[in-house]
Structures are given as structure tokens and as C-alpha cells.
């Protein structure tokens, strides 16, 4: 016969203690809802955690928790598009790079114009117009910009002073002249640029009022401006203002060259300032500064520079389960107060006004300069199915012109002929 289990005082206390431990390990009050989000780790990080959780109030008000699933950029895009292609997805919010949404991809995501009309984002007009255009596909807004990387002209103040310059260049012509003198005086190479990114020739073309490809897919809207840009770059390569290794120079090389003082100028996102001036890596901490990329002298005061910007935006898959909660999250993350909080945590703000906030200026001395650049910034080119191939052909012709194997006029003509068949 089995005897009833007896529990002494010690056993009771052990059992009770175990039960209390299990209760303590579980959330005191589990949220009624969970919003599943696909993102890069950085998007989760800038929202903070613990006492610094920028979404704490939203979570309480909506009785909701956030569940992030994070990947690096390319795997993230693959997973997001795959989830959006299913009959239904558990992910109600995704983060998308602005160079990905083609017409076919855009159809996988919820048009947000109606949501904005019904329950608008606060001060929507403060979001940089170029970023909104970049996420408006076939007339429909599919993403709300949330993170930016705007290109700046970085310069080494120490090297400029050695060459006798007391201020950074205010026009493109001054940039070229300063780079040439620094190279000629053998102080350093005038400027270092990667050859495998469209950002740089596009920036030079826009400095003359031109472009590679507009948002409405006009190829070389001002061929003469692109020809002028390639003429300048070819001249800088010929006189040594660009390194002889230009054809093999990569983006990371730009950072290294600037940190070591091997180059006086480069073009990188404003957010690279901290890295360039890191005293553990840089020989010139505090001396590498930035300004907006300058236009040609004839356009000063007439046409503002349209710097290249890469942006991330928040999207809602069309097959998402909880679009109401997703839009509520997007509204909160896009609000002025959360945008500022993320910026203080290192995020590139999508709102122009954020950069003028004294709290950010105290932490980021380039904030005002970045705000001015962001106000007119736009992507290097719009997304389309053959974008990668078009960029490769564009860069091939740019390299041939810069290295003197084709005239700038021949390269511009070839860009027009080779890229046009790839456009939508």
C-alpha cells in the first residue's frame, strides 16, 4: 500500500521557494499583444532598453511587447521579401533599405497614404522630402523613413593648414584647387574616393546641377553636367589629386587613408566622424572635420547641393496580421520625441528639425551641417530590377574616363547607350 506523501517543514519551504523563483522569473504582467518586427540589430539598439527604453510608454499604452528578429542588411531584405510573399506573415513591421522597392516589390507592402490620412504621423512635413519620395513607388507611399546616412565632405584641418588654407572649400573649384596644392606640395594625396560606388561620380555630377538617374528614371538629365564632373575627376587623377590606386580603392580604404593622414579630403556619411576622429585609430583626432559637399561656383545661391543619402524605412507587409498595431508603432517611432531619442543613441535622423535640437547639437557638433545637407538629399538612383547592372555599367564608363582611357564625352555617350535599355 502506498503511503500518502508527507512533507516536512524543510520540504515545504524548499517547494515554496522554488515556486516563488519560477514566478519571479516570469514577467509580472505579460503583455496582451506582441508585435513581431524584422529589422537590422541597429534599429532595435537605437530604441534603447531598460530605463532608456524609448518605447516603454507605447508598450504600456498598447498593452504590447516588441519582438525583434534581426539580420544583416542583405539577409534581412531576403527574409522580408520572402515573408511578404507568403499568404500570411507573423511579422507586421519590417525595415527596408530605400534602394530595394521596385514596382513588383512595392506591391507586397501596404500603401500607407490611407493610414496617414486616418491617423497621421505628427509633423509629417518635417520628414526629409527626398526620403519620402524615395519610398513613394508608382504614386503610393510604402515606407516611413527612420534612419539616414547622408554624405559629407570630410577634410583634415591639419593638412589644409600645412598647405596654407584657413578654411575648407566653399565651391567645387576651391575643393579641386586645394586638393591639387596639397598633392603638389607632397603633403598628402588631395582626395581619396572608392571607385566601385556610384555615390561619388553622382555627387560630382550634382555639384554641376546634373545627375545619373532621376527619381522618374530620366537618364543623364543634363549630359553636360555629367561630362563636367568626369572632366574634373579625370583632371584630379591626372595631376595626382586622386591616388594612382583609384581603380582598386574601396570604401574602407577611404577611412584608413583619412585616419593616417594619407589624404586630405574624402566623401563619407556624416556618421563616420566619430570613427575618423577615434584617438585609438586616428593620427588626427579632433582634426578631421566635415562640411556639406560644395556646388560649382556658378550655382552658389541658386541651386542647392543634393547630397546622396541612403535611408531605411519602416514598412507593413500587405499580408501582415496586425496592421493597426504596426501603424501605431510606426507613428510612435516616427514622432519627434522618439526620433530625437534615437538620434541621441546614434541614429541618423530622418527629421530635419531633429538636427537643430540643442541636446543633439551638444552631442554632435556636425548636426546643423547635416541638417542642411539632408534637407535636399536624395538617393543615388531610384530602385529598379536592373539597378545593380546599370550601376556596374555606369561605374565602368566612369573609371575609363577618370583614368584617361576615354574622353568624358565618350564615356557620357556610352553611359546613355548602355544603361538606357535597362530602365523600366
**Residue 41 backbone phi and psi in degrees, to 5:** -60, -30
Tell me what pLDDT residue 61 has: 97
How many Cα atoms sit within 13 Å of 20 on the Cβ side? 6
pLDDT below 50 — which residues of the chain?
1-28
Does 3.40.190.10 match the CATH number of domain 150-307+381-422?
Answer: yes
**Residues 133, 371: Cα–Cα separation, whole Å:** 18
> Interior CA angle at 378 toward 406 and 108, to 5°?
110
List, for residues 365-387, the tens digit of each pLDDT value. 899 999 999 989 999 999 899 99
* Residue 279 and residue 285 in contact, taking contact as beta carbons nearer than 8 Å: yes
Query: How many whole angstroms separate alpha carbon 37 and alpha carbon 372?
Result: 32
Residues of the chain with CATH 3.40.190.10: 33-148+310-375, 150-307+381-422
Interhelix angle 199-207/387-402, nearest 10 degrees: 70
Instruction: Give the pLDDT confidence score for residue 30 in this predicted structure.
Output: 64
Region class of 160: left (phi > 0), else alpha (psi between -120 and 50), else beta = alpha
What is the distance between the alpha carbons of residues 74 and 395, in angstroms, rounded to a whole number? 22
Contact between 193 and 200 under an 8 Å Cβ cutoff? The reply is yes
| Phi (first) and psi of residue 346, to 5 degrees | 105, 5
Torsion of CA 55, 58, 59, 65, to 10 degrees: -70
Top-tier CATH class for 33-148+310-375? alpha beta
The burial class, CB within 10 Å (0-12 / 13-18 / 19+), for 195 is buried
Report the 10 Å Cβ neighbour count for 87: 5
DSSP annotation of 139 reads T
Element (H, E) at 225: helix 223-238
Residue 384: CA count within 13 A, CB half-sphere = 21
Amino acid at each position: 500500500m502506498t503511503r500518502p506523501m508527507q512533507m516536512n517543514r524543510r520540504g515545504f519551504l524548499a517547494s515554496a521557494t522554488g515556486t516563488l523563483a519560477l514566478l519571479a522569473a516570469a514577467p509580472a504582467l505579460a503583455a496582451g499583444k506582441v508585435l513581431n518586427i524584422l529589422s537590422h540589430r541597429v534599429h532595435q539598439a537605437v530604441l534603447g532598453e531598460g530605463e532608456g527604453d524609448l518605447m516603454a510608454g507605447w508598450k504600456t499604452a498598447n498593452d504590447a511587447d516588441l519582438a525583434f528578429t534581426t539580420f544583416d542588411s542583405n539577409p534581412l531584405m531576403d527574409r522580408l521579401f520572402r515573408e511578404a510573399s507568403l499568404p500570411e506573415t507573423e511579422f507586421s513591421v519590417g525595415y527596408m533599405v530605400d534602394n530595394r522597392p521596385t514596382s513588383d516589390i512595392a506591391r507586397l507592402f501596404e500603401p500607407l497614404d490611407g493610414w496617414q490620412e486616418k491617423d497621421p504621423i505628427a509633423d509629417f512635413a518635417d520628414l526629409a522630402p527626398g526620403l519620402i519620395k524615395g519610398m513613394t513607388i508608382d504614386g503610393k507611399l510604402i515606407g516611413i523613413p527612420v534612419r539616414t546616412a547622408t554624405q559629407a565632405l570630410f577634410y583634415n584641418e591639419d593638412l589644409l593648414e600645412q598647405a596654407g588654407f584657413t578654411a575648407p572649400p566653399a565651391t567645387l573649384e576651391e575643393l579641386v584647387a586645394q586638393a591639387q596644392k596639397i598633392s603638389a606640395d607632397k603633403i598628402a594625396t588631395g582626395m581619396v574616393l572608392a571607385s566601385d560606388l556610384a555615390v561619388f561620380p553622382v555627387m560630382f555630377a550634382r555639384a554641376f546641377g546634373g545627375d545619373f538617374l532621376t527619381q522618374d528614371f530620366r537618364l543623364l538629365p543634363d549630359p553636360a553636367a555629367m561630362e563636367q564632373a568626369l572632366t574634373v575627376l579625370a583632371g584630379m587623377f591626372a595631376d595626382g589629386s586622386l591616388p594612382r590606386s583609384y581603380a582598386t580603392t574601396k570604401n574602407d580604404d577611404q577611412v584608413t587613408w583619412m585616419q593616417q593622414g594619407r589624404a586630405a579630403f574624402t566623401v563619407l556619411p556624416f556618421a563616420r566622424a566619430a570613427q575618423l576622429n577615434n584617438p585609438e585609430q586616428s593620427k588626427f583626432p579632433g582634426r578631421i572635420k566635415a562640411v556639406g559637399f560644395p556646388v560649382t561656383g556658378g550655382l552658389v545661391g541658386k541651386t542647392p547641393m543634393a547630397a546622396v543619402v541612403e535611408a531605411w524605412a519602416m514598412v507593413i507587409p500587405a499580408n501582415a496580421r496586425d496592421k493597426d498595431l504596426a501603424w501605431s508603432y510606426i507613428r510612435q517611432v516616427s514622432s519627434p520625441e522618439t526620433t530625437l531619442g534615437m538620434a541621441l543613441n546614434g541614429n541618423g535622423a530622418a527629421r530635419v528639425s531633429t538636427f537643430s535640437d540643442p541636446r543633439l547639437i551638444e552631442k554632435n557638433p556636425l548636426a546643423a551641417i547635416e541638417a542642411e545637407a539632408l534637407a535636399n538629399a536624395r538617393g543615388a538612383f531610384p530602385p529598379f530590377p536592373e539597378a545593380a547592372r546599370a550601376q556596374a555599367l555606369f561605374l565602368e564608363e566612369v573609371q575609363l574616363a577618370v583614368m584617361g582611357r576615354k574622353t568624358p564625352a565618350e564615356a557620357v555617350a556610352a553611359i546613355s547607350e548602355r544603361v538606357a535599355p535597362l530602365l523600366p
